[in-house]
Copies of this chain bind each other. A is one copy, B any other.
Amino acid sequence: MLHMRKHTEHKAATRARIVEAASALFRQHGIDGVGVDAVMHAAGLTHGGFYGHFPSKEALVAEVSAASLARAATRWERISETERPASALTRIVESYLDPAHVADLERGCVLTTLGPEVARRPDAREALGRSVERMVAVLADLLPGGRPQALAALSGMIGAVVLARLAEQAGLAEEILGAAMADVLAGLPQDAA
């Protein structure tokens, strides 16, 4: 039975490559803008092999959404466990509202790159819930206003990135991000790092 081990590991690695490729492509071009063919090609494979890993494109979409957002949630948790509260919050908010995040579509937060598209797909939508809760929990811990303030802050961050990506001039985008950042961080006690 040992022979299966190697096969299994190899297959799992390939599967991860497919998810990673899809993750970047979906965020860049939208879910309907990327075919199974393009995903497999980006993963260095041919399209036929896809169905050895996933039952359907829809299943890939759900897994990609879940995996991407779970990674973000884990990053936030790690930051909040490692740093003092005020500095953790600043770091999370600053990196989210960084013009670099806005420009880097393929690594951008799924909520801002694919939010409305995922909301229309029941499987993918369901896959997101847990990670959203984790992100809210991190913010609720760091903000004096607790959970309501955390929900408002997350909303503000998402909306600012969506809006900034719609802005044609870089100046306006930065103005939006700056205003949202000041707004979220204004909710902090007076001992920022």
| Interface positions of A (Cβ within 8 A of B) | 29-30, 32-33, 111-120, 125-126, 128-129, 132, 147-149, 151-152, 154-160, 162-163, 165-168, 175-176, 178-180, 182-183
Contact = CB atoms under 8 A, between A and B. Distances in A.
A117 B178 CA distance: 23
A31 to B, nearest CB: 8
Contacts of A114: 116
Contacts of A158: 155, 158-159, 162-163
Nearest to A187: B183
A175 B151 contact: yes
B30 A116 contact: yes
Contacts of A175: 148, 151
A166 B117 contact: no
The 6 closest A-B pairs by CB, nearest first: A159-B159, A32-B32, A158-B159, A152-B183, A155-B159, A155-B160
Given A155-B160, A163-B158, A182 B148 contact: yes
Nearest to A33: B32
A152 B132 contact: no
Contacts of A30: 30, 32, 116-117, 120
A32 B128 CA distance: 22
8 contacts: A30-B116, A116-B162, A117-B117, A126-B168, A148-B175, A151-B175, A151-B176, A159-B162
